[in-house]
Amino acid sequence: MTATMTAVVYTALDAFEVRQVPVPAPGLGELLIRVEAAGLCHTDLDILAGRYAAELPRIPGHEFAGTVVDADPALRSRIGERVAIDPLIACEACRNCLRGHPNLCTRGQAYGAERDGGFAEYAVVRSDNAFSAGTLDPGVAALAEPFACAVNALDRANPSPEAKVVIVGAGPMGMILSIAARGRGIEDLTIADRVPERLERASRFGATETVRIAHGLTDSLPERAFDLVIDATGRPEVVQEAVRLLADAGTLIPFGVCPPGSELVLDTFEVYRRQLCIVGSFSLNRGILAALDILRQSVYPLDELITTRFPLEQGGDALAAVGGSDTVKIQFDPMTRIATQ
């Protein structure tokens, strides 16, 4: 009899079920992972709503970590290894891949979108996509994917340690960007938000200054003052105003995911005269190892980033909790069901 497992399955747009499905078997070059932590993010909601391309039905989940429990016979030595997963699968042959941008692969796939992901008790992944997490707590190891997204953004901007940096938005990615920036040696880091509780938390996760925004950004933050401005809100009106915070030769990263069709109005003479840069950053770009290094070396209380853990059976509650003002990262703990059987 085929073994089964519990999984959250997106059956169609705006429809999902928590149900029993067969445990997948690893093929050539693949590993079977017992998932021990799987993070939720807005992309998972966007897939369900049809705002992000994916193939349905699908087991979602692209932020996950666990232990290798089975493998292609040539990879048996990896059984027992604790790993964090890079969800992106690039063709390595298209022009974008050859130029060093596998995250922009024209034929790319991802676990949780085109292949089944981590919202399940077990998942099959390519061995090349599984990176040793060592002794990191599984919940912290599952943060490697969003941290790798922050690494990509910072690599794109390449700020010097002396740069004056501001992150607008103290939500989950704002906190992760803060920790990653401090991990790169940034010493002058302001975080701005409207919610006092978020700012109090930001002060524990790397912010050297916090600013409460009561009205517009420039009512509370000085114009032309920051070498690097990162928007972590995904709100077009915030990104528009953030341009005014840029110092000469400054860089703006619209990191938060603005809706398709959003527009940014720029004075092109100002861009020319002041050498301003607008830098895009999509997903992660082979940054899991760098992210794991940040997580291992961080002096911040990383476990506090995980504010709520749900068993898979409470898939609906977990999805509904994403984006709550009192949450940072939400994760599934598939081991809860296994431990209580």
What would the pLDDT profile of 120-145 be if each residue is shown by its tens digit? 999 999 999 999 999 999 999 999 99
Is there a single domain that holds both residue 115 and residue 88? Answer: yes
pLDDT given at position 340: 42
The verdict on residue 296 lying in a domain is: no
Indicate which CATH number applies to the domain containing 269.
3.40.50.720
The verdict on residue 283 lying in a domain is: no
Q: 323 falls in which pLDDT band (50, 70, 90)?
A: confident
Is there a single domain that holds both residue 131 and residue 217? Answer: no
pLDDT given at position 338: 44
Closest by CA position to 213, among listed 234, 191, 199, 193: 193
Is there a single domain that holds both residue 164 and residue 125? Answer: no
16: left (phi over 0), alpha (psi -120 to 50) or beta: beta
In this prediction, residues 77-96 reach a mean pLDDT of 98
pLDDT given at position 143: 98
Is there a single domain that holds both residue 50 and residue 173? Answer: no
Task: Reply yes or no on whether the pLDDT at 201 is more than 50.
Answer: yes
The verdict on residue 192 lying in a domain is: yes
Q: 324 falls in which pLDDT band (50, 70, 90)?
A: confident
Q: 295 falls in which pLDDT band (50, 70, 90)?
A: very high
Range of the domain at 60: 4-142+301-339
The residue type found at 94 is C
> Whole-angstrom distance between the N-terminal and C-terminal Cα of the chain?
19
- CA distances from residue 339 to 88, 209, 317, 336 in whole angstroms, order as listed: 30, 43, 20, 5
The verdict on residue 291 lying in a domain is: no
Task: Reply yes or no on whether the pLDDT at 337 is more than 70.
Answer: no
Q: In which residue are the tokens 């790319």 written?
A: 108
Residues 161 and 174: their CA atoms lie apart, in Å, by 19
Q: Which comes out higher in pLDDT, residue 268 or 325? A: 268
The verdict on residue 290 lying in a domain is: no
Q: How many domains does the chain have?
A: 2
Residues facing residue 4 across a β-bridge: 22
pLDDT given at position 189: 98
- CA distances from residue 317 to 126, 313, 314, 333 in whole angstroms, order as listed: 30, 9, 5, 13
In this prediction, residues 155-168 reach a mean pLDDT of 98
State both tokens at 163. Answer: 């740069």
Q: 341 falls in which pLDDT band (50, 70, 90)?
A: very low
Residues facing residue 220 across a β-bridge: none
The verdict on residue 288 lying in a domain is: no
Residues 331 and 310: their CA atoms lie apart, in Å, by 6
User: What is the CB neighbour count within 10 angstroms for residue 214?
Assistant: 8
Task: Reply yes or no on whether the pLDDT at 151 is more than 80.
Answer: yes
In this prediction, residues 179-193 reach a mean pLDDT of 97
Query: Residues 54, 121, 81, CA angle at the centre, nearest 5°?
Result: 105
Question: Which secondary-structure segment (H or E) carries 155?
Answer: helix 144-157
pLDDT given at position 325: 73
Residues 185 and 81: their CA atoms lie apart, in Å, by 31
Is there a single domain that holds both residue 154 and residue 135? Answer: no
Residues 150 and 132: their CA atoms lie apart, in Å, by 20
